[in-house]
Structure 1
Amino acid sequence: MPKIEYKSIKFQQKSLELINLVNQVVEEYQAQGYELTLRQAYYQLVARGYIPNNERSYKNIGNLINDGRLAGLIDWHSITDRTRNLRSNSHWDNPADVIASARYSYLLNKWDGQPNYVEVWVEKDALVDIVGQACRPLDTPYFSCRGYTSQSEMWSAAQRFISQDYRDNRVIIHLGDHDPSGIDMTRDIQERLQMFGADVYVKRVALTMNQIGTYNPPPNPAKITDSRASKYIDEYGNESWELDALEPQVITDLITNEVTALRNDEIYRSVCDSEERGKDELKMIERNYDKAVAFLESEE
């Protein structure tokens, strides 16, 4: 992993110690296969008691990580920005490589024949990669709401769920912050989907007060400027909590447990077996690509 010095910066000893702590947190999560956003790294430092939990502290750690990278003390791959990405076409060196790629991407719908249809929705785009790491192996669609979902996307979602009316149940597993708006978003999703004619159960699985008691994420003051603050404070008090503060593995486990509880494993395994047979066929074509081309050319 690249630690490249682009700028000579003289740090105070306290800053150097904090940079070492940042590296420890990042390396710990990289070993588990997770990439952290700046906010997730910040919350892990707060949760471990290394820094206070306030806006100034968040800005300071952002500046320190920026300087640490420029000084060659923090890996450039250590913090990910999930909101800004380069997009481009895929390319291959030869036609056989396309078949190899197709073999890896050949996936049957594991929810075919299942009594339930399930999607996972998360409030924040910054967490969509972590949610995706949980959902992709489960072949479960996932969606970043980015706050209150737009009317256009909510209508499209309703049409998607209506098309699944032949199933016994349609379920959204919803994860969001425990703050005035984050709590209200679960209600909003349920009510607007119903307004558009979709029969869906929206199950909020995070954050909950039970999880806050179990995992003890660092609290924030409830936003009193939020129009929903008064009701929230009456019920939960003056503190709020962000989903980002949960460790990625906790989020992964929550999603996995909820999804698998709604899945018929016998049907799932049958589809997986069919998928493997298809992959084997593609592998055979890949290995014998030149022979296949020669045969087809001889038939022309």
Structure 2
Amino acid sequence: MKTTYKACPTRRPRRSKADIDDIKRWIVTVVGEDPPMTVRQIFYQLVVAGAIEKTEEQYQGTVIRLLTDMRLAGELPFHWIVDESRRVRITETYDSVAHAIEQTAKFYRRSALAQSSDYIEIWCEKDALAGVMWDATSDYDVPLMVSRGMPSLTFLYGSAQAIRRAAVAGKQTYIYQFGDHDPSGVLIPKTIERRLDEMCQRLDCPPPSVERVALTEDQIVAFGLPTRPTKRDGNRHANGFVGDSVELDALPPRELRAMVRTAIEQHISPDETAVLRAAEDSERDLLRALRPGGVT
């Protein structure tokens, strides 16, 4: 059965040091079992575990505060927390030709996707989860398309162009979408499919197969995910939506990555990808041999 968590009408007593230490241990256990996680994912895992209540006060005043304190105190590794909402942009430079060749060799990589007979895109509604899903998509060189809610026409057109290039190469396109179970979230894959169908018709290429992988009602029940009342006032998308809403962040990170891998591995073989990675190792040695002075 679905569990709906509601804010307590009265302010709870201030937690003791022992209570805070218990929550800290929960945090270390939860994140340590499946890093990295977003702050929002940690919040939901603590809610499901019964360590805290599902309220904005607990999210802001307990989870965010303790994660800040614990990282600054060295109690929690910084790399266990991923934040895709803030990025650094910097020009890539090299100290010398030898350094440039070494960096090229270090990051040299063949495309597993290019070797596939199909073209695949993984779409995610939420920017915050990109780092978690990237762990799976990057293994197979599959594009991770972060729409940040409803995708723009410009973003969709870029995908349509990629679909056309794939069609010219004789490949069918498969799109797997992940998003919240709420009025806007369930509408996003339908919008993606409709818009790409229109664009592909203009570009004279076959439309993609679009499948919503998560979040579904069956998954909400299977994982016992916490729900919230659906916001209906002023939300025109809510007219045909039935029931409560659930954020994709509530899904355990391990399960989210597994779903991404399952979708991709329908088209790209893990064994064939392993062979490809082995070939890269010898080719890196060839690149390093080009450095001034040769291999060292």
Which residue number in structure 1 is paired with residue 105 of structure 2?
103
State how far apart, in whole Å, the 1-side matches of 2:68 and 2:131 are: 26
State how far apart, in whole Å, the 2-side matches of 1:253 and 1:190 are: 24
Which residue number in structure 1 is paired with residue 46 of structure 2?
45
Matched, 1:227 2:221: no
The more displaced of 282-291 and 189-198 is 282-291
1:242-267, Cα deviation, whole Å (9 max, x unpaired): 1000111101110111111123x39x
State how far apart, in whole Å, the 1-side matches of 2:21 and 2:217 are: 32
Give, in angstroms, the shift of residue 98 of structure 1. 3.2
Cα 1:222/1:101, change in 2 over 3 Å: same
Give, in angstroms, the shift of residue 227 of structure 1. 1.4
State how far apart, in whole Å, the 1-side matches of 2:185 and 2:116 are: 31
Q: TM-score, normalised by structure 1?
A: 0.80
Q: TM-score, normalised by structure 2?
A: 0.81
Which residue number in structure 2 is paired with residue 258 of structure 1?
263
Q: Helix, strand or coil for the counterpart of 2:132?
A: helix
Give, in angstroms, the shift of residue 175 of structure 1. 0.2
Q: Which stretches in structure 1 are left out of the alignment for 5+ residues?
A: 1-11, 294-300
Give, in angstroms, the shift of residue 31 of structure 1. 5.0
1:73-120, Cα deviation, whole Å (9 max, x unpaired): 754725443211323234555544433322232112212353211010
State how far apart, in whole Å, the 1-side matches of 2:119 and 2:81 are: 34
Give, in angstroms, the shift of residue 206 of structure 1. 0.3
Rg comparison, structure with higher value: 1
Residue type of the alignment partner of 2:237: R
State how far apart, in whole Å, the 1-side matches of 2:240 and 2:129 are: 27
Q: Helix, strand or coil for the counterpart of 1:147?
A: coil
The more displaced of 42-51 and 278-287 is 278-287
State how far apart, in whole Å, the 2-side matches of 1:63 and 1:71 are: 12
Asked whether the equivalents of residues 183 and 241 of structure 2 are also in contact (C-alpha less than 8 Å), the reply is yes
Q: Which stretches in structure 2 are left out of the alignment for 5+ residues?
A: 1-13, 202-206
Which residue number in structure 2 is paired with residue 54 of structure 1?
55
Asked whether the equivalents of residues 110 and 272 of structure 1 are also in contact (C-alpha less than 8 Å), the reply is no
Residue type of the alignment partner of 2:248: L
Report 1 or 2 for greater relative contact order, CA contacts < 8 Å, sequence distance ≥ 6: 2
Aligned equivalent of 2:226, options 218, 227, 240: 218
Alignment RMSD, CA only? 2.8
The more displaced of 176-185 and 102-111 is 102-111
Give, in angstroms, the shift of residue 286 of structure 1. 2.4
State how far apart, in whole Å, the 2-side matches of 1:191 and 1:64 are: 43
Asked whether the equivalents of residues 22 and 41 of structure 1 are also in contact (C-alpha less than 8 Å), the reply is no
Identity of aligned residues (%): 25
State how far apart, in whole Å, the 2-side matches of 1:292 and 1:72 are: 45
Cα 1:281/1:112, change in 2 over 3 Å: closer
Q: Equivalences for 1:168-207 in 2 at 5 Å?
A: 168-197=171-200, 199-207=207-215
Which residue number in structure 2 is paired with residue 242 of structure 1?
247
Which residue number in structure 2 is paired with residue 128 of structure 1?
130
Which residue number in structure 2 is paired with residue 5 of structure 1?
none
Residue type of the alignment partner of 2:232: I
State how far apart, in whole Å, the 1-side matches of 2:59 and 2:197 are: 39
Asked whether the equivalents of residues 31 and 42 of structure 2 are also in contact (C-alpha less than 8 Å), the reply is no
Cα 1:44/1:148, change in 2 over 3 Å: same
